[in-house]
């Protein structure tokens, strides 16, 4: 008869395994909490309970995948974002806390009244679906060049905000001829020269076309700057995530292309340039 293993013992063994393979040991707790749908307090309450054999086997398989470098969110098939669980897979980026800050900036700075909103490069739909769920009067559309990503976004929209409209295509092509009060994006912005300092699991598992951009990572901001006058309504707003070293360059791109617009660079909670807002003026 197999010896029983407590949740505490399984957790500690997993943390040791992850540490030994140079992975973040906190993933061990993350996997356990997400799989059991527990809070940390609930986990502590079950520390001394024996873990059922099927659960233990599944947990050990998950830990082995993360030990090999696969992100825990892909192993689980979902990731938390702005208080909701979003389906994710290798076709989509894993939603991150910096993007939650971008969404929060949009929500706290924009009127709650009805407006037309476009999320370009929606991926899992994290931004578009969250905006629609939080502001039901808004009419939100999400676009992505990847049909596989849009399929994931559709699953998330069905769960959290069925009113979202989703379409496949590059940048503004799926909404040609339409105008929006608000455009938001978390575009690819990593320069290929930064590959050496990137996390190995990101490089290996996350979609390359959602990470890297030409012109030292600035290509999409240049394309946005050129297109915004024909896409935004008068006094419309554009929000985007940016790389932590790109604040000055992104500001120059938008100020040069749109000299009458107000351009604001905002830092994240870590004090790094991380977001840009462009406000058109009449």
Sequence ranges of the binding site: 121-125, 144, 186-189
How buried is 64 (Cβ within 10 angstroms: 0-12 exposed, 13-18 middle, 19+ buried)?
middle
CA distance 248 to 139: 32
Q: State the DSSP code for 6.
A: B
How buried is 56 (Cβ within 10 angstroms: 0-12 exposed, 13-18 middle, 19+ buried)?
middle
- Binding-site residues for S-adenosyl-L-methionine sit at 121-125, 144, 186
User: Are 4 and 55 spatial neighbours (Cβ–Cβ below 8 Å)?
Assistant: no
Would you list the DSSP string of 90-137? Answer: TTSPPP-HHHHHHHHHHHHHS-SS--EEEEES-TTTHHHHHHHHH-TT
- Binding-site residues for substrate sit at 186-189
Q: Kindly calculate the radius of gyration of the chain based on its CA atoms and give it in whole angstroms.
A: 21
């Amino acid at each position: 008869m197999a010896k029983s293993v407590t949740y505490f013992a399984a957790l500690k063994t997993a943390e040791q395994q992850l540490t030994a393979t140079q992975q973040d040991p906190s993933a061990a707790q993350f996997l356990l909490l997400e799989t059991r749908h527990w809070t940390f307090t609930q986990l502590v309450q079950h520390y001394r309970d024996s873990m059922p054999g099927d659960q233990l086997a599944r947990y050990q398989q998950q830990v082995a995948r993360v030990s090999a470098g696969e992100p825990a969110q892909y192993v689980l098939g979902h990731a938390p974002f702005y208080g909701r669980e979003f389906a994710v897979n290798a076709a989509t980026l894993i939603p991150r806390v910096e993007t939650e800050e971008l969404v929060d900036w949009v929500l706290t700075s924009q009127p709650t009244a009805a407006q037309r909103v476009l999320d370009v490069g929606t991926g899992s739909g994290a931004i578009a679906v969250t905006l629609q769920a939080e502001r039901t009067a808004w009419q939100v559309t999400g676009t992505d060049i990847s049909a596989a990503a849009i399929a994931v976004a559709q699953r998330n929209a069905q769960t959290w905000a069925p009113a979202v409209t989703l379409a496949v295509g590059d940048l503004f092509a799926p909404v040609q001829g339409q105008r929006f009060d608000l455009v938001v994006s978390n575009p690819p912005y990593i320069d290929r020269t930064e590959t050496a300092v990137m996390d190995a699991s990101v490089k290996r598992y996350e979609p390359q076309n959602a990470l890297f951009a030409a012109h030292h990572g600035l290509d999409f901001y240049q394309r946005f700057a050129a297109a915004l006058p024909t896409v935004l309504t008068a006094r419309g707003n554009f929000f985007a995530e940016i790389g932590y070293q790109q604040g000055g360059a992104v500001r120059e791109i938008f100020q040069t292309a749109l000299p009458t617009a107000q351009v604001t660079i905002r830092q994240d909670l870590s004090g790094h340039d991380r977001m840009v807002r462009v406000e058109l003026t009449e």
